[in-house]
Structure 1
Amino acid sequence: MELAITGGRALLSDQGLVTADIGVQDGVIAEISGPERRFDATGLLVLPGIIDLHGDAFERQVQPRPGVSFPMDLAVAETEAQLLANGITTTFHGVTLSWEKGLRSAETWTSLLAALAANRPRQSCDMRIHLRWEAFNLPALDLALAAIEQGAVHLLAFNDHTPGILRKMADAATGAKYSERAGMKLDAFRDLANAIGTRADEVPAALARMAEAAQRAGIPMASHDDARVADRDAFRAMGARISDFPMSTEVAKAATEAGDSVIMGSPNVVRGGSHMGWSGAAETVEAGFCQILTSDYFYPAMLRAAFILADRHGQDGLAARWALISANPAAAAGLTDRGRIAQGLRADMVIVSRDPAPHVVATIAGGKLAYLSAEGAARLH
């Protein structure tokens, strides 16, 4: 027996939140037997590891300031440390592959894939790729198709930010935010964007090729920022059964009623609303039109959001709301081996204290004790 977690209240898949002892052996959840390291979880909660389907906070490790980049291996290592400290045991890095230069370029994409592959033998967090495909990025179409075919992509999302960028180019201050991220002068960036915009007629065929490749590879697909029900319907027809950040409750409702999974951001819940002025995530969850919460741009928000929503429903609210960041994203991503605490499943768990506010005491990822706070170290025997 590698590890026994004892005395805590565990969220078990078949019993709900009950006092239970849990064993970990060979990376999976097992019965407790024989000598073991023992983690005393008395007074703590033992919950399924958090699964983040859409997190792009890693971009701040790659480029903490506009135009200021750091080595990719360093960025990946620091990102993993942050993920584990926040109880996230499986993450889908939301990597935007755009026609832009700099942070969201083909060069950054290639460098990140290489760094993740090199890091994989020693990583604890299961770090995967959520390819946010920018619809107008026709020059990188073959690069993206190859990555899907090679198994480097685990979730494909269709993005179309180019029309919005083109509209914003008229304002120098707003345009400068994009040009700085790309490491370009504003005029040069404006010329590049305008040139890309002239190829709109080629976009539908490219989207169809991407969808066909994802279907062949058996990976889930999503559409991002669905503005209208008609948009969601069109992407569903292409095989995309996830609505990633719908822009209105109307779209989220229609998606849910059609059997799609709806994703919204945990920061929206924690802050009390969308910083973009769109639908409130908490209200959409309560209405039954959002099944998954993600970190979006702030990893600590996932755990806090689940507890904020759970506390609205008293003592029995945690099981349903924790599923927003564990069982539900696992199901949407086709990950049948995680998202719940049950014998034989991957041993991904986060041990949480609620005193004085919800925070991570320890994280177990793939059976490894991957993060341990000072409070947690005092409980390990």
Structure 2
Amino acid sequence: MELAITGGRALLADQGLVAADIGVRDGLIAEASGAGRRIDASGLLVLPGIIDLHGDAFERQVQPRPGVSFPMDLAVAETEAQLLANGITTTFHGVTLSWEQGLRSAETWTSLLAALRANRPRQSCDMRIHLRWETYNLPALDLALRGIENGDVHLFSINDHTPTILRKMGNDAAGAKYSERAGMKLDAFRAHATEIGKLADQVPAAMARLAEAARQAGLPMASHDDATVADRDAFRAMGARISDFPMSIEVAKAATEAGDHVIMGSPNVVRGGSHMGWSGAAETVEAGFCDILTSDYFYPAMLRAAFIMAERHGENGLAERWALISANPAKAAGLADRGRIAPGLRGDLVVVSTEPAPRIVATIAGGKLAYLSAEGAARLH
């Protein structure tokens, strides 16, 4: 497909936001020509496609209500539609592989991988896997190792939520949250969790095996919910150079000063704070201690968050703040072929209107015209 996007202001890798016509040819960014289709982007912005390193909103398509699941192929198709409508051209599905049953089980993991493989020939969004390994999940250790070794995993992170879950088991209301997600009766879930808790002594060795496998595979590695600077230091020593949702600005600061990437959630920016009562993402970005924003649990937040952050710095702020959701995550994930607008890079672009609020007019993913709003259809020639 050959496509030209003309008349807009484009965020070019070497010039910033300037008036420019952008072409897409054979899946790559190229000079605009008169051939093929054309989008009139007059009055609009042309920006690099959004890259989401940690998004688990797909879980709502798999299980929209606790214990109510839908076919995985349907969930994957609906998720891709939402991603493209929100300008996300590369996503890393944050898949928690836990000892829990139901939504975060080994069965769901296996089913999702199979659905993604089957969908790959038809997909426009580059959908990848961010394996969030729940540290006590010793029964699925071999499954996780196979996923890393055979290339199904593209980002590996360490989750250690089990101690928190175990502490909550004495509270019926808190316990019900987990048991319902797992599709189990509360008493049965408590018993299962208690048995898993007995594996604590085996956890360090399993983590070391997985970290070594990830290093051998050349995967980017992260640790999730770093509570202390000591935690971050320990995970860095294992090879995890991404701090995924640090719990305080002190941890984010220490990570940044050590040269690590720091991820926080776009919903935190849009809502004006963390729903968990942790550090404010906007404040952490402004302090220079966060370089990547992700969708977390709400895909539309990424576009809005970048513009909220840019507003604080005038027009020149967009080039720097858009990098939070494009160039910076590409760098952290080792994806040198995307995240910027330059000839020869992957044809991932979004056409954006800013009035009355930022919204996606068109999404080009891998050189394909993958999403078009009603306004975009009127601008297509």
- The structural deviation recorded for 1:36 is 2.1
Q: Count how many residue pairs are aligned between Structure 1 and Structure 2.
A: 381
User: Aligned residue for 2:136?
Assistant: 136
Post-superposition shift, 1:34?
A: 4.5
> Which residue of 2 is the match for residue 203 of structure 1?
203
User: 1:202-234: per-residue Cα shift (whole Å, max 9, x none)?
Assistant: 000000000000011111000000000000000
Alignment map for 1:27-106 (pairs within 5 Å): 27-106=27-106
Amino acid at match of 2:95: V
Report the secondary structure of 1:158's partner residue.
strand
Partner amino acid, structure 2, of 1:354: T
SS of equivalent residue, structure 1 residue 329: helix
Matches within 5 A, 1:109-124: 109-124=109-124
TM-score w.r.t. the length of structure 1 is: 1.00
Give SS of 2:219's match: coil
Which letter maps to 1:2? E
- Paired amino acid for 2:134: E
TM-score by length of 2: 1.00
Aligned to 2:244: 244
Report the CA distance between 1:32 and its aligned residue. 2.2
Q: Which runs of 5+ in 1 are unaligned?
A: none
2:302 corresponds in structure 1 to 302
Instruction: Return the letter of the residue paired with 1:237.
Output: A
State the alpha-carbon separation in 2 of the partners of residues 158 and 181 from structure 1.
Answer: 21
Query: CA offsets, 1:59-81, max 9 Å, x none?
Result: 00000000000000000000000
Q: 1:180: how far off? A: 0.4
Displacement of 1:288 in angstroms is 0.1
Residue number in structure 1 paired with 2:270: 270
The structural deviation recorded for 1:58 is 0.1
- What is the CA deviation profile of residues 258-309 of structure 1, one whole-angstrom value per residue up to 9, with x for unaligned ones? 0000000000000000000000000000000000000000000000000000
The amino acid of 1:334's aligned partner reads G
Equivalent position of 1:166 in the other structure:
166
Amino acid of the structure 1 residue aligned with 2:100: E
Task: Give the corresponding residue for 1:23.
Answer: 23
Return the alpha-carbon distance in structure 2 between the equivalents of residues 36 and 69 of structure 1.
42
Other structure's SS at 2:24 match: strand
Q: Measure, in 2, the Cα distance between the counterparts of 1:35 and 1:289.
A: 45
Give the counterpart letter for 1:367 in structure 2: G
After TM superposition, the runs of 4+ consecutive aligned structure 1 residues lying more than 4 A away are: none
- Are the counterparts in 1 of residues 5 and 32 from structure 2 also a CA contact under 8 Å? no
Alignment of 1:323-342 (within 5 A): 323-342=323-342
The answer to whether residue 350 in structure 2 is matched with residue 353 in structure 1 is no
Which residue matches 2:232?
232
Give the CA deviation at 1:315: 1.3
Q: Which amino acid aligns with 2:209?
A: R
What SS does structure 1 have at the residue aligned with 2:269?
Answer: helix
Give % identity.
Answer: 85
Structure 2 counterpart of 1:312: 312
Q: Which amino acid is the alignment partner of residue 31 of structure 2?
A: E
Q: CA deviation at 1:31?
A: 1.3
Report the counterpart of residue 217 of structure 1 in structure 2. 217
- Name the Cα RMSD after superposition: 0.6
Cα deviation 1:313-371 (Å, max 9, x = unaligned)? 11111000000000000000000000000000000001000111000000000000000
State how far apart, in whole Å, the 2-side matches of 1:370 and 1:194 are. Answer: 47
Aligned equivalents of 1:28 and 1:372: distance in 2?
Answer: 19
2:120 match: secondary structure: helix
Query: Structure 1 CA distance, aligned partners of 2:252 and 2:7?
Result: 40
Q: Residue 312 of structure 2 aligns to a residue in which SS?
A: helix
